[in-house]
């Protein structure tokens, strides 16, 4: 498991961003207040009785709410990229969090809420959930066929060599991962970065990791082979992707966490 980021390391740069965001928010609010005041003055000038209609404020307030909500969403997207939310959260949780950002339930951008999110990400249970997701992706029985000898060795653990069937679209000059398979492969790659404490090497984009990028750049006219820090891979014209896991220590830890999950659900094979 990765070591928690220290409060001091995180708080300084993020607190500066939050302070700048809140300052921009105040400036925007002041600007809309001035717009409302100017609108009332103008309507009073052109009205026959010298009074301004109340409805003028509602139009400006609607725009204000739309712009304030958009600013909050942009700020949270930036913060989640800096914190590394997409590198750690399991797929379902990550999707739900992005959905919540665009709802009325989106939290205010405060340093307290930012630190609460960081504490959540470094929680042992959440990290274990992300590792279990990778474990299920790599172990035989989900995205790999039991007919292959490599996968027959065990269905209750991930072996050093894994065959992932139907992951590749071979119709083009380069091997392309089907979109949903690219996502699953990224889950596995992120897990090994997580185990190794190397999340900083990951792209902030939730669908791009070194392994995904390496596979996608393999030319179908070439060997189809490649290598990253944690994997060697071989692409085949039948759409199968063969992986060799390089780090036995990280594989052992993944299997330890995955084995605990299987036993907890009574799924031993």
| Cα–Cα dist 110/19, whole Å | 8
Q: Provide the pLDDT for residue 62.
A: 85
Burial grade of 34 (CB within 10 A; 0-12, 13-18, 19 or more): exposed
| Cα–Cα dist 152/41, whole Å | 79
Residue 231: alpha-carbon gap to chain centroid:
21
3-state DSSP helix/strand/coil % of the chain, to nearest 5: 60, 10, 35
Burial grade of 62 (CB within 10 A; 0-12, 13-18, 19 or more): exposed
173 by DSSP, 3-state: which? coil
Q: Which residues pair with 211 in a beta bridge?
A: none
Residue 170: alpha-carbon gap to chain centroid:
27
Q: Provide the pLDDT for residue 141.
A: 60
Pairing of strands 241-245, 225-227: unpaired
Residues 22-56 have pLDDT tens digits of 999 999 999 988 888 888 788 777 776 656 565 55
Strands of the chain, DSSP E: 161-164, 168-169, 176-177, 225-227, 231-235, 241-245
Phi, psi of 140 (to 5 degrees): -60, 140
Average pLDDT per block of 10 residues along the chain, 269 residues long? 45 82 92 85 73 66 88 90 80 82 86 86 78 89 50 70 93 89 92 89 74 90 91 95 96 90 53
Determine how many CB atoms are found less than 10 A away from the CB of residue 142: 12
Tokens of 106: 């989106």
120 by DSSP, 3-state: which? helix
Question: Greatest CA span in the chain, whole angstroms?
Answer: 89
Phi, psi of 265 (to 5 degrees): -100, 0
- Report the candidate in 97, 115, 114 with the shortest Cα–Cα distance to residue 106: 97
Q: Provide the pLDDT for residue 143.
A: 46
Q: What is the 3-state secondary structure (H, E, C) of 101-170?
A: HCCCCCCCCCHHHHHHHHHHHCCHHHHHHHHHHHHHHHCCCCCCCCCCHHHHCCCCCCCCEEEECCCEEC
Determine how many CB atoms are found less than 10 A away from the CB of residue 14: 17
How far, in Å, are 91, 128, 152, 153, 263 from residue 269 at the CA level? 26, 21, 12, 11, 10
């Amino acid at each position: 498991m990765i070591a928690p980021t220290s409060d001091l390391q995180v708080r300084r740069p993020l607190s500066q961003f939050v302070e700048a965001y809140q300052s921009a928010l105040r400036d925007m609010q002041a600007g809309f207040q001035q717009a409302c005041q100017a609108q009332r003055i103008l309507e009073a000038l052109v009205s026959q009785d010298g009074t301004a209609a109340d409805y003028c404020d509602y139009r400006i307030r609607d725009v204000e709410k739309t712009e304030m909500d958009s600013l909050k969403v942009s700020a949270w997207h930036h913060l989640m990229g800096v914190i590394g939310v997409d590198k750690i959260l399991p797929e379902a949780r990550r999707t739900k969090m992005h959905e919540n950002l665009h709802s009325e339930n989106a939290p205010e951008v405060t340093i307290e809420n930012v630190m609460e999110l960081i504490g959540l990400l470094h929680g042992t249970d959440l990290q274990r959930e992300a590792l279990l997701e990778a474990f299920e992706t790599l172990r035989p029985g989900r995205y790999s066929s039991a007919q292959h000898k490599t996968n027959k060795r065990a269905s209750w653990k991930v072996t050093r060599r894994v065959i992932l069937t139907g992951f590749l679209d071979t119709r083009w000059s380069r091997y392309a991962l089907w979109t949903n398979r690219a996502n699953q492969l990224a889950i596995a790659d992120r897990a090994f970065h997580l185990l190794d404490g190397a999340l900083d090497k990951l792209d902030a984009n939730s669908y791009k990791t070194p392994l995904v990028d390496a596979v996608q750049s393999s030319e179908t006219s070439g060997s189809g082979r490649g290598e990253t820090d944690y994997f060697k891979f071989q692409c085949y014209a039948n759409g199968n992707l063969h992986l060799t896991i390089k780090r036995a220590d990280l594989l052992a830890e993944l299997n330890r966490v995955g084995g605990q999950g299987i036993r907890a659900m009574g799924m031993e094979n």
